[in-house]
């Protein structure tokens, strides 16, 4: 009979093979799903994963958009990955994203119409601080009272959502908006606008920051004492304690980093692609980033690739919707399959299948 046997140590080969196999399995299962829906599976897969990159009608526009869509996912996922490695579970990045965006937009709108070079840097600081402080609430409650940071950070998402609706209807409402909710559009506010750095490339300060964060994250995780502490705490909490890792300090730092990066993502989004504080401008980046973090195996380079892959599935998914009439839910299912297969295949990193001659009777 076949048995699953724990490997003496995780397989390096499978660690690389697992994501590739997961993608292949997703393509196969997704193809079957499209066929059941009555769509040509090859055409659908091609439209989702190939056309945004290489179709001559779409690629020139879609390639830069890939960066725009992936940047907030990468930035947030990277922040989350530190905590996740150390078993510190910030599930409320969505709330920190909102509060970062509101802090940044609040600064810009309070100073409207200001034309000063320092406004944008100030907004960056405000954005990071907004997300950071929002993440400090679960950090404080956990270190002081032992509350569960999963629940607290998640609940604070709903508080942040209510706060954003109140802002869009109240203090931040556009005085020239004819009574409709929503702030001024920051895209029309040059000093506050996170515009494309080079037209047509999709590169804005958020993309630059996300790429920088990947590099810095990689260095910190592999070359820095903090990275070592994070990895050690995740793999062997007891050993970490003996090695002198201050668990509370680690909680505060990990939640702080993820909060600040989520806040930054919100800041770059609200001042650029999204532009406007509305009653519901948050669109789930904070939650999708959790998938990206795991898909990227909590590894900075992996997160970069996972973020781009996820962005591709969104952009290609839209093409498949209007091009082939594939329902939006099928695209979501495809994204879910990706994570499902990755976690499934991941078993083989730590375990192996072995044929054990069964004993008769």
Binding of another protein by 274 (CB under 8 A): yes
Question: Beta strand pairing status for 351-355 and 2-6?
Answer: antiparallel
CB of 233 or CB of 276, closer to another protein: 276
CB of 8 or CB of 170, closer to another protein: 170
Binding of another protein by 169 (CB under 8 A): yes
Q: Are 83 and 161 within 8 A, CB to CB? A: no
How many beta carbons lie within 10 A of that of residue 328, not counting itself?
A: 11
Helix H or strand E encompassing 235 = helix 225-235
Residue 278 has what DSSP assignment? -
One residue of 256, 273, 296, 300 binding another protein per CB under 8 A: 273
One residue of 14, 49, 58, 89 binding another protein per CB under 8 A: 58
Binding of another protein by 244 (CB under 8 A): no
The least CB distance from residue 136 to another protein, in Å, is 26
- Closest by Cα among 262, 219, 112 to 176: 112
The least CB distance from residue 21 to another protein, in Å, is 30
CB of 47 or CB of 309, closer to another protein: 47
The least CB distance from residue 240 to another protein, in Å, is 41
User: SS3 of 245, please?
Assistant: coil
Q: Are 80 and 293 within 8 A, CB to CB? A: yes
Q: Which residues between 312 and 331 bind another protein (CB under 8 A)?
A: 314-315, 318-319, 321-323, 325, 327-329
Q: Which residues between 280 and 299 bind another protein (CB under 8 A)?
A: 280-281, 283
Binding of another protein by 236 (CB under 8 A): no
Binding of another protein by 185 (CB under 8 A): yes
Dihedral pair phi/psi, residue 281, rounded to 5°: -75, -15
- The single residue listed with the structure tokens 């032992």 is 146
Binding of another protein by 162 (CB under 8 A): yes
d(CA 293, CA 284): 14
How many beta carbons lie within 10 A of that of residue 322, not counting itself?
A: 8
Residue 359 has what DSSP assignment? P
Name the residues that contact another protein, by CB under 8 A: 57-58, 61-62, 65, 68-69, 162, 165, 169-170, 178-182, 185, 187, 269, 272-276, 278-281, 283, 314-315, 318-319, 321-323, 325, 327-329
């Amino acid at each position: 009979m076949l048995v699953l046997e724990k490997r003496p140590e995780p397989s390096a080969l499978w660690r690389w093979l697992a994501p590739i196999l997961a993608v292949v399995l997703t393509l196969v299962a997704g193809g079957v799903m499209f066929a059941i829906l009555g769509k040509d599976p090859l055409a659908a897969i091609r439209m989702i994963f190939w056309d945004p990159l290489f179709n001559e009608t779409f690629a020139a526009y879609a390639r830069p958009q890939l960066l725009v869509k992936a940047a907030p996912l990468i930035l947030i996922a990277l922040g989350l990955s530190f905590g996740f490695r150390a078993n510190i579970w910030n599930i409320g990045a969505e709330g920190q994203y909102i509060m970062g965006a509101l802090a940044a937009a609040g600064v810009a709108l309070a100073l409207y119409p200001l034309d000063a070079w320092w406004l944008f840097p100030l907004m960056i600081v405000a954005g990071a601080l907004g997300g950071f402080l929002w993440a400090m609430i679960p950090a404080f409650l956990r270190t002081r009272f032992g509350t569960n940071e999963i629940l607290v950070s998640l609940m604070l998402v709903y508080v942040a959502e209510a706060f954003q609706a109140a802002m869009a209807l109240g203090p931040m409402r556009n005085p020239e908006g004819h009574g409709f909710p929503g702030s001024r559009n920051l895209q029309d506010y040059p000093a506050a606008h996170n515009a494309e750095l080079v037209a047509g490339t999709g590169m804005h300060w958020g993309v630059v920051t996300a790429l920088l964060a990947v590099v810095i994250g990689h260095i910190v995780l592999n070359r820095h004492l903090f990275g070592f502490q994070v990895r050690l705490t995740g793999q062997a909490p007891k050993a970490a304690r003996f090695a002198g890792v201050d668990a509370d300090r680690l909680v505060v730092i990990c939640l702080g980093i993820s909060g600040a990066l989520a806040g930054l993502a919100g800041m770059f989004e609200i001042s650029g692609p999204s532009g406007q504080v509305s009653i519901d401008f948050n669109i789930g980046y904070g939650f999708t980033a959790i998938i990206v973090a795991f898909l990227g195996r909590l590894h900075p380079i992996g997160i970069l690739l996972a973020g781009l892959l996820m962005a591709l599935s969104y952009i290609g998914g839209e093409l498949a919707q209007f091009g082939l009439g594939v329902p939006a839910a099928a695209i979501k299912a495809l994204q879910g399959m990706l994570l499902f297969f990755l976690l499934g295949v991941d078993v083989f990193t730590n375990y192996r299948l072995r044929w054990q001659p069964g004993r008769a009777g």
